[in-house]
Amino acid sequence: MIEQRLKELDIVLPEVTSPLYEYVPVTTHAGVAYISGQVPRINGKIPYPGKVGQEVTVEQAQELAEYCVLKALSCLQAEIGSLNNVEKVLKVTGYVQAADDFYEPSSVVDGASRLLEKIFGEKGRHTRTVIGVAVLPSNTPVEIDFIIAIKERAK
């Protein structure tokens, strides 16, 4: 279902990479997957480093937000075996490295929200928090974490 949908949308998930710091990409408990903050690092680099509204446009940051989704889904798939086991995207929290006079960080994370709905349909609609921040790791414009309900594995 979902994996077929990815093919229909011509979406290829990126390869899972090991975290650079001391944490795990995904933790599951009681039918819920908690996915660590995803940074849009491609081949070890942030394609558009800087602050949104200064060095980075909203459109570039939305593209990076979409890549955060793909990285998260890749990590989730590795943890639970198949994205067909996703029940519902529950919550998305986005952090946007924003210029002092940039007041629309929500528009950046809209890129991620739209992609989740495109992939999962109604199951992709979620609650959300977006926070504008001064600094993010590796000078990335966006970092996003996810909480997703999953089918519990038989014991």
Answer whether residue 101 is part of any domain: yes
Answer whether residue 21 is part of any domain: no
Write down the pLDDT at residue 152.
80
Residue numbers of the domain that contains 69 = 2-15+36-150
Per-residue pLDDT reduced to its tens digit, 57-108 = 999 999 999 999 999 999 999 999 999 999 999 999 999 999 999 999 999 9
Per-residue pLDDT reduced to its tens digit, 103-139 = 999 999 999 999 999 999 999 999 999 999 999 999 9
Task: Please give the C-alpha separations between residue 27 and each of 14, 48, 76, 80, in angstroms, as whole numbers.
Answer: 19, 29, 9, 10
Answer whether residue 29 is part of any domain: no
Q: How many domains does the chain have?
A: 1
Beta bridge partners of 132: 96
The answer, yes or no, to whether residue 28 has pLDDT greater than 90, is yes
Answer whether residue 97 is part of any domain: yes
Closest CA to 33 of 67, 97, 100, 83: 83
CATH classification at residue 122: 3.30.1330.40
Write down the pLDDT at residue 155.
47
Answer whether residue 107 is part of any domain: yes
Residue 105 in contact with residue 132, Cβ under 8 Å? yes
Length of the chain: 155
Write down the pLDDT at residue 12.
95
